[in-house]
Structure 1
Amino acid sequence: MEAQERIETRKDEIRYRTADQRRMVGKFLAEKVCKKWVEDFADQETGEVISVERTTILFEGGKYIDESLAQSICFHIQCGDIADVEVSNQRRIARPEKNYYLRPYTATAVIGEKRKKFILQAQSAAQAIEVVTDYIELKYTSLFVVDSVKAMPGCIILNDRFRSAVEEVEGGNEAGEETPDGEEEREDTKYYKIAAEITALPLEGEKEEDTPRPSSYDFIVKTRDIDTAKAVITAWINMKMKKKAEEDNREARTFEVSLTAAQPFSLSAIIPYAFCVAYKETETITIKP
């Protein structure tokens, strides 16, 4: 009978930090080893001293630590470049890619005996599960299980900011954050999934070939009806483009919206943007020599 091949997972991994050469040999570097230091620079105009963290890589992660490498590591420890290293009994080289932008996700959960669907923003699927779990724990009372999370690339989440008439639109909120006037409590709104083609109108005197080509976008809009949803999208697009034009110090274009598909979208809630941001990880910038 053939012996079964041993399958190792992270559950079998043993990691620890050490400065002891004997405990390094035969292991793998769990992470890349970096030397870090701080340099002070004086602003020539203001005289203000600015501290900048600099870093350089000494050893790449995943390297097998033999006697020679262990000696090199200990040399840097003795020089004060590093205090210790993290080692592992497993060679792990691949690293999850970090995304520092919030992207829309849908998450479904069975809460009690009912299935609920949420939209939220997160930097990864794993983070999306954390966000929706936190939200459900605060908003519901039954046992639950989050059973699916799906990215919605390129989808823009908007809420209706109308309170009286379409002509009084002030714009939408791509972050999905509820408005302070009780948007979530309104009974005259529904969720819609809309595909739209955005067309830029020519500027005065501009040739047609110089006008940007139409672009297609998907939207999730919470509003009263499809006509109102179109007005929300149009207001949001023109608001965003006007702001961008002001930043670039150029003339703002006007955009028209044509709906190519629209249908009701079954959704329990849009998790507020501020709730999602609480989980956002920010990028730490260091300067390499």
Structure 2
Amino acid sequence: MKQPEKIQTRKDEVRFKTSDTRRIIGKYLAANVLKTWKEDFLDESTGEVITIERHEILFERGKYIDNDLATQINFSIQAEEIKEVEVSNQRRLATQNKRTGLYPYKVSASIGMKRHNFILQAQNVTKAIEVATDFIELNFTQSFDITGVKLMDDVVILNDRLRKYVEAQEGANEAGEEADNAEEQRGDVKYYKVEAEVAIKAEDEEEPGKTSYDFIVRTKDVDTAKVVITAWIDAKVNERTEKDGDERKVVDISILSASPFACNAIVEKAFCMAYKDQEEA
């Protein structure tokens, strides 16, 4: 009776780095083999010499290493173009994107007998689950299951922390800025998904440029959501003006659609940042 083929997974992978080409025959390259060198260039505008690191792919990831390829690799090692290669007993070609920034995610969880949705920021799905798990363990008492994770690309998350731009109101301090828990104290916490079109005009433009944005806003109503969005956009325009010296102004902000959004909490960015991988120097 024919024995079924053994299913290969990462659990069965044997991966290692070596400069001994006798050990790599019959394996696969686990990563691109790069020749790296540095070149100096003169910046004519400043007279400064700039050093740039250059790379050339000598051998591509996933290639089977036979005697001929092992000889070529050995030649590159002897020529000091490379120091070693990383090999595997499995042929793996796809690579997961390395995201360095934080992206918005919606994480759903069944906590006790209720469904909860959380908005948070993370580098990838794995990190999003870690952030949500940590947050739930700290803020709930029942057992739970993570039931869904969705990337909400191109969505801007706004907690209503910009009330300092709004007139002082009940629950606010003298500057008009509310305490972190003011909404809970008033019992008017709501979440809205808002699509807005923003017209911004630069000094040298005859007509303003229009850009569409999607927001998830934690606030009390749609009118206040527009105020919060306006404050965020004004802050971004002012930030760009200070950075580039390009005078710009917001001509109009149109709310194209606004609807309640099923959400139980927006996890603070500072909490999410604890799970962000440090960028390599």
TM-score bin (small chain): 0.7 to 0.9
Tell me, in whole angstroms, the C-alpha distance in 2 between the residues paired with 1:68 and 1:205.
62
3-state DSSP class of the match of 1:69?
Answer: helix
Matched, 1:256 2:264: no
* Higher RCO, 1 vs 2 (CA within 8 Å, ≥6 residues apart): 1
SS class of match (2:253): strand
Distance 1:193 1:34 in 2: 48
1:246 aligns to 2:242 (yes or no): yes
Q: In structure 1, how many angstroms separate the alpha carbons of the residues matched to 2:40 and 2:14?
A: 39
Aligned partners of 1:220, 1:54: CA distance in 2, in Å?
A: 42
- Determine the C-alpha separation between the residues in 2 that align with 1:143 and 1:92: 37
- What residue number does 1:87 align with? 87
* Separation (CA, whole Å) in 1 of partners of 2:141 and 2:50: 51
**Aligned-pair identity (%):** 49
State the partner residue of 2:103.
103
Partner of 1:112: 112
Aligned-residue offset at 1:53: 5.5
- Aligned with residue 217 of structure 1, among 213, 216, 219: 213
Q: Is 1:194 paired with 2:190?
A: no
Shifted more, 184-193 versus 117-126: the winner is 184-193
Change (3 A) 1:94 1:204: closer
The SS at the match of 1:247 is helix
Q: What are the Cα deviations for residues 92-127 of structure 1, in whole angstroms up to 9, with x where unaligned?
A: 112122233322110012233332211111222222
Q: Give SS of 1:193's match.
A: strand
Partner of 1:121: 121
Label 1:202 to 1:141 Cα distance change in 2 as closer, same or farther (>3 A).
closer
Unaligned runs of 5+ in 1: 170-179
Counterpart of 1:133 in structure 2 is: 133
Contact preservation (8 Å) 1:162, 1:168: no
* 1:29-40 paired onto structure 2 within 5 Å: 29-36=29-36
**Equivalent position amino acid for 2:208 in 1:** T
Supply the distance in 2 between the matched residues of 1:253 and 1:155 (Cα, whole angstroms). 22
Q: 1:38 Cα deviation (Å)?
A: 7.0
Residue 279 of structure 1, aligned match among 271, 275, 281: 275
- Count of matched residue pairs: 272
CA distance, structure 2, for counterparts of residue 117 and residue 184 of structure 1: 19
Matches within 5 A, 1:35-54: 35-36=35-36
**Cα distance in 1, alignment partners of residues 216 and 259 from structure 2:** 10
TM-score scaled by length of structure 2: 0.78
Query: Residues 124-147 of structure 1: CA distance to partner in whole angstroms, max 9, x if unpaired?
Result: 222222222233334444433222
| Counterpart for residue 180 of structure 2 | 183
Deviation at 1:241, TM superposition (A): 1.7
- Of Structure 1 and Structure 2, the greater strand share is in 2
**TM-score with structure 1 setting the length:** 0.76
How much has 1:61 moved relative to structure 2? Answer: 1.2
Q: Aligned-pair distance for 1:70? A: 1.5
Q: Find the counterpart in structure 1 of residue 222 from structure 2.
A: 226
Separation (CA, whole Å) in 1 of partners of 2:55 and 2:144? 45
Shift in alpha-carbon separation, 1:203–1:148, aligned structure 2, 3 A: closer
Post-superposition CA distance 1:53-105 (Å, at most 9, x none) = 55443322111111122223233444554443221111111212223332211
Q: 1:42 to 1:238 in 2, by over 3 A?
A: closer
Partner of residue 266, structure 2: 270
Q: What is the alpha-carbon distance in structure 2 between the residues aligned to residue 181 and residue 201 of structure 1?
A: 29
Label 1:161 to 1:168 Cα distance change in 2 as closer, same or farther (>3 A).
Answer: farther
Distance 1:199 1:5 in 2: 58
Task: Return the letter of the residue paired with 1:65.
Answer: I
Gaps of 5+ in 2: 170-176
Cα RMSD of the aligned pairs, angstroms, is: 3.8
Q: Is 1:144 paired with 2:144?
A: yes
Q: Is contact 1:193–1:218 with CA below 8 Å preserved after alignment?
A: no
